Amino acid sequence: MSEPQSNDPLHGVTLKQVLESLVDTYGWDELGARINIRCFTSDPSVPSSLKFLRKTPWARQKVERLYVGMVRRRT
């Protein structure tokens, strides 16, 4: 028997993949405009943003919500 497929759009997707996908789609400037946090607006990089997002649940939730919305618009 096969495993039931998860309806969670974040299932199997790492935070790094989420962030890189958002940066590829929007770029750092637009991402910083959509989610106004300093790691996106002041000298942004994937490693520094990941470090901040892993320690800051409210910011991670905003990033994940933006990603889920982006994925749903694509389908």
Residue the block writes with tokens 């997707």: 13
The pLDDT value recorded for residue 74 is 82
* Tens digit of each residue's pLDDT (9 = 90 or more) over 31-57: 999 999 999 999 999 999 999 999 999
CATH number belonging to the domain at 15-74, selected among 1.20.140.10, 3.30.379.10, 3.40.50.720, 1.10.720.30:
1.10.720.30
CA distances to 1, 26, 42, 48, 59 from 15, in Å: 30, 16, 20, 13, 12
The pLDDT value recorded for residue 8 is 81
Positive or negative torsion for Cα 45, 22, 39, 32? positive
Residue 30 identity: E
Q: Is the whole model's pTM more than 0.85, yes or no?
A: yes
